[in-house]
Amino acid sequence: MKIIVVFLLCTSLSLFAFETSNIQLLYSDNFDGDAFIYDVKDAKKTTVTFEHFRTFGYGDFFMFIDMVDGKKFDGSEHDVYVELAPRVSLSKISKKSLSFGLIQDWYISTQLNVGDDYRAYMGGIGIDLLLPLFTFVNINLYHKSENINESDSYQMTAAYRTKPLYGLHINGFLDMTKRDINTHNQLLFDISTLLDTNEQIYIGCEWIYYRYDYGQKNFRTNTLQAMLKYKF
């Protein structure tokens, strides 16, 4: 699994046809739940996120880096978390259209998640859907191996972005395993026209909901944070 992730990552760094990146600044003083992954002691947390997406000759590649400032339960005040998600298009490698109905394409999907003390390796299949009112919708089903839990599991990841309406759009993702559910959803307004600039600048908010079940207990984060996004 590790070899596949590294191979697909290296492949995705060349032969790209389209790419887009953005930087996000997020803040909330409502991280007052009991989930150690997101919540902090004084409920105040600032996050700077870098996102990048590109297509290449055989598929696509998405990544993000979260740089977090907040007093965590373990005493640390800073954290860095990274996800890398290369996918290989079965239509492109077979040179045959595999689309039918709402399904645009099928993928071999991989993902690598890295935190300070966390590693997760995932591989599986994915699809792109063509739906009205959406710029994109993709769903990936992974086999997941991680260093926190001894037993492997499965994860379903869905991501989406709506088409803009009067400068507003919604985008986000949903991760689900047998142990947890994690969803981030952003409502953003394009203020570029108000500022009379060609730069792509958005303001809005992000809603985070996270629940982790452990034994007879569950731990939860449910918060809204302010957001500023610059796309380039």
pLDDT for the residue 189: 98
Under 8 Å between Cβ of 1 and 25: no
Closest CA to 85 of 48, 129, 50, 52: 52
Domain residue limits at 108: 2-231
pTM of the model: 0.90
CA atoms within 13 A on the CB side of 14: 4
> Given a cut of 60, is residue 203 above it in pLDDT?
yes
pLDDT for the residue 51: 98
Query: 53-71 pLDDT, tens per residue?
Result: 999 989 999 999 999 999 9
Q: Which residues pair with 227 in a beta bridge?
A: 26, 204
Query: 153-175 pLDDT, tens per residue?
Result: 999 999 999 999 999 999 999 99
Query: 17-32 pLDDT, tens per residue?
Result: 789 999 999 999 999 9
Query: 3-14 pLDDT, tens per residue?
Result: 445 445 555 455
The domain that holds 104 is classified in CATH as 2.40.230.20
Under 8 Å between Cβ of 84 and 64: no
Contacts of 25 (CB under 8 A, 6+ apart): 46, 47, 48, 227, 228, 229
Residue keyed to tokens 């978390």? 81
Q: Give the chain's domain count.
A: 1
pLDDT for the residue 149: 76
What single-letter amino acid sits at 158?
Answer: A
pLDDT for the residue 12: 47
